[in-house]
Amino acid sequence: MESSEDLLKRLGVTIDAETLRLALTHRSYAYEQGGIPTNERLEFLGDSVLGLSVTDALYRDNPDLSEGELAKRRSAVVSTRALAKIARGLDLGQHILLGQGEKLTNGWDKSSILADTMEAIIGATYLSNGMETARCLVMRIIGPVLRDAAALGAGTDWKTSIQEIAAAQRMGVIDYKVTGFGPDHDRRFEAVLVIGGATYGSGSGRSKKEAEQEAASASWKLLQPEVNQLPLAHADAQLRHST
């Protein structure tokens, strides 16, 4: 396993050893160690720093967007799915301190644990360095997500976005074909989205919900050319419905 210094290099920040260890301490590990402090307070702090930093960037960079659209984009950027993806890119999972139960079920790769720990890291950065350094960290790791107009347009719930498109285009019944595989302690799922009998995108994840969201995300991007070719009246109706 690589050292915590390697993680800090990738993050581009300095965090004192004690605060960093706290940020990486999941409650399952804390419980097994006799009830030592967990990273949940830092997660709470980091959530606020993250939210303010993203809100500020969206507000300044998008002067023509309504409050509703700004809120939708912020939700997409700070979602569990988005944060977990960032955490995986940083190999954060291998550094998280987990209890034996979570280790056996590959807790290091669970989206909820990764997202929560990412927020705790942001909180720890704020405590160790102040708001400006924490904001710069957020912008550095969130920047690619902020620039992904397609992801921001769909918001946090890809399945809802698919429902809106399918309804606007009268595409038919939406169905997610989900299959599971692997042992109980390392169960994975694959989902394929079928609309009106036609197959669209697929996705995978450690839960049925995660696999379905991935399939909806892939399908949403496939459907964008069709949406853009809708008659203007239908497109306007869809826009009003989604805001």
Residues designated as active site: 47, 119
CA 67 to mean position of chain CA atoms: 21
Residue 100 contacts by C-beta under 8 Å, 6 or more apart in sequence?
A: 32
Distance, in Å, from the CA atom of 29 to the CA atom of 35, rounded to the nearest integer, reads 9
Q: Which residues pair with 203 in a beta bridge?
A: 191
Distance, in Å, from the CA atom of 142 to the CA atom of 172, rounded to the nearest integer, reads 36
Q: Is 18 marked as a binding-site residue?
A: no
Contact 124, 19 (CB under 8 A): yes
Continuous segment of H or E residues that includes residue 197: none
Contact 92, 7 (CB under 8 A): yes
Distance, in Å, from the CA atom of 221 to the CA atom of 35, rounded to the nearest integer, reads 46
Contact 40, 150 (CB under 8 A): no
Q: Is 212 marked as a binding-site residue?
A: no
Q: How many CB atoms lie within 10 A of CB 67?
A: 9
Nearest to 51 by CA among 115, 144, 135: 135
Q: Is 175 marked as a binding-site residue?
A: no
| Residue list for the binding site for Mg(2+) | 43, 116, 119
| Residue list for the binding site | 43, 116, 119
